[in-house]
Structure 1
Amino acid sequence: MLKKVEKKYSAKKTPKAELKKWYELMTLGRLLDERAPNYLKQAVGWSYHAPYAGHDGIQLAIGQTFVRGEDHLFPYYRDMLTAVSAGVNAEEIILNGISKATDLASGGRHMSNHFAKPEWNIHNVSSCTGNHTLHAVGVARAMKRYKHKGVAISSQGESSVSEGYVYEAINGASVEKLPVVFVFQDNGYGISVPKRDQTANERVADNFTGFLNLTIIHCDGKDVFDSMSAMDEARKIAIEKSEPVIVHADCVRIGNHSNSDKHEWYRDDAEIAAAKAQDPYPRFRKELLDAKVFTEAELAAVDEAMKKEVLDAHTKAMKAPNPDPASIYDFLYAEAHVSTKYPQGTHNETSEPVKFIDSINGTLKAEFRHNPNTFIWGQDMANKEKGGIFNVSKGMQQEFGIDRVFNGPIAEDFILGTANGFSRFRDDIRVCVEGAEFADYFWPAMEQYIEMSHDYWRSNGAFSPNVVIRLASGGYIGGGLYHSQNLEGSLAAIPGIRIVVPAFADDAAGLLRTAFRSKGPTLFLEPKALYNSKSAMTPVPEDFEVPFGVARTRKEGKDLTVLTYGNTVHMCLEAANRLEAEGFNVEVIDLRSIVPLDVDSIVKSVKKTGRCLIVHEDKVFGGFGGELVGVVNEKAFEYLDAPVKRIGSTNTPVGFNRILEKAILPNTDRIYTGMLDLLKY
């Protein structure tokens, strides 16, 4: 719904004190904006700067509309005045620009011009343009769930709206009726790409006119009073109706896209001159003088005061410490839960064996009872008796209600991105998502997965997404393409997210519980062929826990070490037992945890046996086994009596016909042959 907003602010209607504050902020922001390139010229820093000049009206309005303690603000890289208007001071802006250790946004870890103040819920966003719309929707969902009065504000350029996840965010917010304000700052360009190459509509906000439960407001982003009126109305609608609002602000880009751009290459002199002629800052100053609210002397005094403030901020910031190179591993992984009762993740339980699928279901329910601030969503998650594509979450919505257990759209980026945002609302929140119905369909969420992987590190420890990502992975079900894939070989190379792959019911329960009780993201891979497998059934102690990074020796041996995880653990045990009858003693180590990896247990076993075979379901080429080979060669090469060998899938997709699947995936016979070859080497 398009809404026309009456301009309720003007130089004559607005109190003088308020106008003075606005002028101070605009002057301070412009001084910082114009000073930023000098730091690069002096080799001090600020190697990325996107000037905001031409966006002054809307950015002042965003910051002034933001209510500290109630709202969450997600500014983008051009939002310097937005940050200043919201309360980030000049010293904090400069510390960010020159990447000092005391920079509030990231301690110098993230690109300059990415402003944040975590204690005020001004969030650190990434350089991946527009992706924070999903985080804003997620935190708005949490506001609604917890009946919190406030809004999430997402600010971005108009070209970022071309990204698919922006459409997912706005669609999801309208479906769920969430209190989020999306601000599009439209300056007509995506770096050098003109708007006509982005959208057929003159205004990109008009792409969303068919969405229900959504209000669209157009304003002049160069006009302070029009922008203030629009943002006031947007926040009011978002709170009162609990619905999303788009504020489309027409701006102008006066300078280059950034200090690495030359706009003269794609804009002619007349266009650049026209842009400068529309500069909002002198326009606002003139309005104040023409209305006789201020004298020239009064405004000149403000100018001098702001210059002094910037100079003082510069002096302090230049004395601030640089980041310590030794700190690069700090905040890579958030704090993991440590079990005191089960430090090695083993037990002596003798109760009735439980199915793999039932152990996960039971642990999910137990953790939801343990922590009332636990939530789960995904595709096919909760519809009457349905509980996920494999019914792993069966009965959860019936017990915990639709507020905690609910469906997401078929939009994997949205599922994961809103989990990131939702967990920002409170530190005790834990979100579990079925990231996709099958692991193979997870790839659309990769942008959000990568985002999540470095949130904790990038924010210098200020925020960790406390999210468990469950994925049904692997083959042996006759699923073929998109239903039989393994991801760990690709994903293990991305630091910041733990990856676990249980092979037995007890480990599934123990690792899942540890993931829920830890901070930070965990990828929980569930070999779906084991859901109802008898071989994966075990007794499961109540409140059982398995630590991250602790392998489990499934069979002791002295002649050969086998490193494995997931589905192939059972095949390795079958092959090892066959060889036992032939006089060979094979040690089978179930890694359980891929990231972190139990290097000590691997090295200890290889030192004992002198031989090592690595077995996993994923392809040998590019699979995680290559990393394991590297660990063994680096840490235990002198103890080897034979080359390290690998067994896994062929370097092909997985075929649907069972004959093809059998030819591609590893099996007990191939593993037996591989073991025997190494034993006789």
Structure 2
Amino acid sequence: MKSNVKTIYSIKKTDKETLLKWYHLLFLGRTLDERAPNYLKQAIGWSYHAPAAGHDGIQLAIGQVFRKNKDHLFPYYRDLQTCVSAGLTAEEVIYNGISKDADVAGGGRHMSNHFAKPAWNIHNSSSCTGNHTLHATGMGRALKTYKEKDAVVISSQGESSVSEGYVYEAINGASNEQLPVVFVFQDNGYGISVPKEDQTANRKVARNFEGFKHLRIIYCNGKDVFDSMNAMTEAVEWAKKEQKPVIVHANCVRIGSHSNSDRHELYRDENELSYVKEYDPLAKYRRLLLRYERATEEELKEIEDAVAAEVKDAHKKGLAAPHPTPESVHDFVIGEAYPASKYPEGVHEHNGEPIKLITALNETLKAEFRNNPDTYLWGQDIANKDKGGIFNVSKGMQQEFGKTRVFNAPIAEDFIMGTANGMSRYKKEMRVVVEGAEFADYFWPAMEQFVETTHEYWRTKGQYSPNITVRLASGGYIGGGLYHSQTIEGALTTFPGVRVVYPSFADDAAGLLRTAIRSEGMTVFMEPKALYNAPKAATPVPDDFEVPFGKARIRREGKDLTIFTYGNTTHFCLEAAEKLSKEGFGEVEVVDLRSLLPLDEETIINSVKKTSKALIVHEDKVFAGFGGEVAATISDLAFHYLDAPIKRVGSTFTPVGFNRTLEAAILPNTDKVIKAVKELLEF
């Protein structure tokens, strides 16, 4: 869908005050851009710098149409001029470049040249090129959900980053959901040294999207201030009026190298380097102002002198500003957890009728959706007519809470996670629950966005907390085989900035889910799908039950050996302990960890003190499984209480097979636990 862009701005029509303001912004941006490499040469900082020169026209326009605290802007690492145009001062740019604590993007925690100001809705984007398109789409969904019709989202990136699959997912989602998002492609012909003909068959990458419904595409000359201003103004107005997405494809030139670690003379000849300098947007704009007598040489020189003084003063302040302190690395790793003060130990009197684990999850989700109207749920196959997810965990939710709050996502796991990241930025009260994948094994395509989300709070120095609960149906014992029977907590617990919980019983499932949803920060909620309807996992569940993070539960008292476990294997351990007790082999304590990250070190150590022997049992592979971390904790903090080596039981170091004979050979069971306990007791 293309149409002519209205001519609003031109060298003749635009008032002089605006023209001179633009020149000030352009000259300020260029001065800072050219000064940046000097900081690296002097070993002061700015060790990553991606020059904006050649993108000046479109970047000025992006910044000028953006309205702070109204619209939302997701810039990329080359958007220095964009952020200057949007209002960042020379001081703020230099603080970012030399990574000072005063950096408004995140206090020096993020790579230099990644400009942001979250307080103004200029969002902190990562170095993962183009991934913020998904965040922009998520924010667009929030604007539509809360009927913010006078606001838009602007996402900016280079043309080569459009090769990333999640960019297509983002634009497909914005098109399908009809969201007011403007995606700007700044096309300078290169992805680092890779020419764009190696990226896509179309000379203009925006043409790859011409078949998308509800999407408008505008092409402009990103080297020209006026063409860029007209295109961006039209794009923003159309997105607001139609509540639909727009792509602005801006043709630019890259005057310098990709970055200060790139030597562009190795792949660009002298003719090309001369050509791009001839098309310098700043020089062209200056010539136009003089040629059409919209400014005098003296007026421009006055602006240039003022910019030089402005940058000099900012430089002095930047050098004098303090660096972040070493101690601050531990600040803002993850948002504040809900205290779960009603049940501080995460236990309750077992009164009432037992309910199944799946029922506990369903009822808790509904209760939390009633408790907080800013709670949302989406994922694959979770809400269509009477079906509520592949396992029916979300059954009845769309009927009660409507399609705005409970809805299906495309089969695109990165999209599910990325839009959760984006939408949850809209307001602190919002809580997003996503079924990250139908099975935990399918979560791997979402790992890029998962990793991104784990460090949002830390990277922004506490300015944005992704308040997201990621539900994953996990584990085997269902004859599912590959992609339907693995459990992946061993990988997920290696990342700071996320909590990981793994209940074994209905009451803990309800209590941990309630705590996860009410907390700030991201929690991965692993659901042992083999226990959804298992009678052995059913328990009474109080309506208000809460389980605090980092609090294990002693499921069976003992004195001769402790088994530390969670998830499906908790039940094998309890069965093994009872059987061994009846056979006179001793009394085994079973500790259900239930919270893996954070881990209850106190309960672990106290139990080892009591029994002096430790067996760790989990469903995942023994090698590199989470049990290794538990074993290391015991060795580090309770070694002198041990009377025997720490032993582990888990899956074989193989994938989980589909044939039931293979599955049984691979996964742990009661007999394997009994064998390990006997060996350890006899040590």
In structure 1, what residue type is equivalent to 2:63?
G
In 2, Cα distance between equivalents of 1:465 and 1:301? 46
Q: Map 1:38-117 to 2 at 5 A.
A: 38-117=38-117
Listed one character per residue, the Cα deviations across residues 296-335 of structure 1 (whole Å, up to 9, x for unaligned) are 0001000000111111111111111101001111111110
Q: Could you tell me which residue of structure 1 aligns to residue 36 of structure 2?
A: 36
* Cross-structure match for 2:597: 595
Give distance in 2, aligned partners of 1:347 and 1:17.
Answer: 70
Q: CA deviation at 1:107?
A: 0.6
Query: 649, 664, 667: which is aligned to 1:647?
Result: 649
Residue 318 of structure 1 is matched in structure 2 by: 319
d(CA) in 2 for partners of 1:139, 1:452:
15
Mapped partners of 1:307, 1:233: distance in 2: 34
Runs of 4+ in 1 over 2 A off after TM superposition: none
Q: CA separation in 2, counterparts of 1:673 and 1:311?
A: 74
Tell me which amino acid in the other structure corresponds to 2:630. L
Counterpart in 1 of 2:572? 571
Amino acid at match of 1:650: T
CA shift, 1:607, in A, is 1.3
Return 357-366 or 314-323, whichever deviates more: 314-323
**1:2 matches 2:21:** no
CA shift for structure 1 position 382: 0.8
> Could you tell me how far apart the structure 2 residues matched to 1:506 and 1:402 are?
29
Q: Which residue of 2 aligns with 1:387?
A: 388
Which amino acid is the alignment partner of residue 39 of structure 1? Answer: Y
Residues 620 and 650, structure 1, Cα contact 8 Å, conserved in 2: yes
Amino acid in structure 2 at the alignment position of 1:602: I
SS class of match (1:547): coil
The reply on whether 1:539 has 2:536 as its aligned counterpart is no
Counterpart contact for 1:388–1:394, Cα < 8 Å: yes
SS of the equivalent of 1:563 reads strand
1:237 counterpart residue number: 238
3-state SS of 2:437 partner: coil
Contact 2:69 2:119 in 1 (8 A): no
Query: What does residue range 5-20 of structure 1 map to in structure 2 within 5 Å?
Result: 5-20=5-20
TM-score by length of structure 1 reads 1.00
* Equivalent position of 1:662 in the other structure: 664
User: Following TM superposition, by how much is the alpha carbon of 1:602 offset from its aligned partner in structure 2, in angstroms?
Assistant: 0.5
- Letter of the structure 1 residue corresponding to residue 43 of structure 2: A
Asked if 1:441 corresponds to 2:442, the answer is yes
Aligned 8 A contact 2:218 2:247 in 1: yes
2:562 is paired with a residue whose SS is strand
Query: For the Cα contact (< 8 Å) 1:455–1:464, is it kept in 2?
Result: yes
Q: Report the TM-score when normalising by structure 2.
A: 0.99
1:349 CA displacement:
3.5
Secondary structure of 2:434's counterpart equals: strand
Q: Alpha-carbon deviation of 1:272?
A: 0.6
Over residues 129-163 of structure 1, what are the superposed CA-to-partner deviations in whole Å (9 max), with x where a residue is unaligned?
00000000000000000001211100000000000
Aligned partners of 2:625, 2:393: CA distance in 1, in Å? 27
* Residue pair 2:335, 2:521 contacting (<8 A) in 1 also: yes
CA deviation map 1:446-480 (0-9, x unaligned): 00000000000011111011100000000000101
Counterparts of 1:468 and 1:370, CA distance in 2: 16
Conservation of the 8 A alpha-carbon contact between 1:465 and 1:519: yes
Equivalent position of 1:500 in the other structure: 501
RMSD: 0.6
Q: What does residue range 214-613 of structure 1 map to in structure 2 within 5 Å?
A: 214-583=215-584, 584-613=586-615
Instruction: Give me the whole-angstrom Cα distance separating, in 2, the residues matched to 1:483 and 1:516.
Output: 25
The CA deviation string for residues 251-279 of structure 1, in whole angstroms up to 9 with x for no partner, is 00000100111000111111111011110
Aligned with 2:649: secondary structure?
strand
Instruction: Figure out how many residues of one structure are paired with residues of the other and give that number.
Output: 681
Cα shift at 1:564:
0.2
Aligned mates of 1:516, 1:493 — CA distance in 2? 22
Residues 1:24 and 2:24 are matched in the alignment: yes
Q: Deviations over 1:89-110 (max 9, x none)?
A: 1100000000001111111110
- Contact 1:4–1:218 at 8 Å: present in 2 too? no
Q: Deviations over 1:367-412 (max 9, x none)?
A: 0000000000001111000111101000000000000000000000
Structure 1 unpaired stretches of 5+: none
SS at match of 1:328: helix
CA–CA distance in structure 2, aligned partners of residues 425 and 201 of structure 1: 35
2:623 corresponds in structure 1 to 621
1:666 CA drift (Å): 0.3
The one-letter amino acid paired with 1:351 is G
Partner of 1:177: 178
CA distance in 2, matches of 1:2, 1:201: 17
Q: 2:121 matched to which residue of 1?
A: 121
Distance 2:562 2:322 in 1: 49
State percent identity of aligned pairs.
67
Compute the displacement of 1:629 (Å): 1.1
CA distance in 2, matches of 1:230, 1:389: 45
CA distance in 2, matches of 1:21, 1:240: 28
Structure 2: any 5+ residue segments left out of the alignment? none
Following superposition, the deviation at residue 6 of structure 1 comes to 3.5
Pick which of 444-453 and 619-628 moved more. Answer: 619-628
Cα distance in 1 for partners of 2:336, 2:394 equals 27
- AA aligned to 2:62 is I
CA distance in 1, matches of 2:435, 2:342: 29
Report the 3-state secondary structure (helix = DSSP H, G, I; strand = E; otherwise coil) of the residue aligned with 1:2.
coil
Separation in 2, partners of 1:81, 1:356: 54
- Deviation at residue 581 of structure 1 after TM alignment: 1.2
